[in-house]
Amino acid sequence: MNYYIVTKEVYDTLDKDQISYMHKSQDRATRLVATTETVSNRIRKFQSITTCSNYTITNHSDWVGDGSGIFEWEMEKGGYIPVIDD
């Protein structure tokens, strides 16, 4: 699995069938995605699910706004539903 932060525009071009997790930033400008796809046009790539989770905990105000972050189990659980994506 690959973990990235991408712009909304790049996200719109990704194969949604390969995405297992997606979370919009608080300002809705970027997306954190877990995907089997390789994305070269990205803002940030994480080496592992742990580094990805730690990044969101450190930068929680960008991602969740409640002082926490996105935990590994949330990303592993998946549940991405493209129908409700905007």
**Is 86 a domain residue?**
no
- The predicted structure's pLDDT at residue 8: 95
- The predicted structure's pLDDT at residue 81: 67
**Is 67 a domain residue?**
yes
Q: How far is CA 1 from CA 25, 27, 34, 35, 65, in A?
A: 20, 25, 6, 6, 26
Question: Within a 10 A sphere around the Cβ of 62, how many other Cβ atoms?
Answer: 17
**Is 76 a domain residue?**
yes
User: What DSSP designation does 64 have?
Assistant: T
**Is 43 a domain residue?**
yes
Work out how many domains the chain is built from and give that number.
1
Distance CA 4, CA 35 (A): 8
pTM of structure: 0.88
The pLDDT profile of the chain, 86 residues, written as one tens digit per residue, is: 999 999 999 999 999 999 999 999 999 999 999 999 999 999 999 999 999 999 999 999 999 888 899 999 999 998 776 655 65
**Is 85 a domain residue?**
no
Domain coverage including residue 42: 2-80
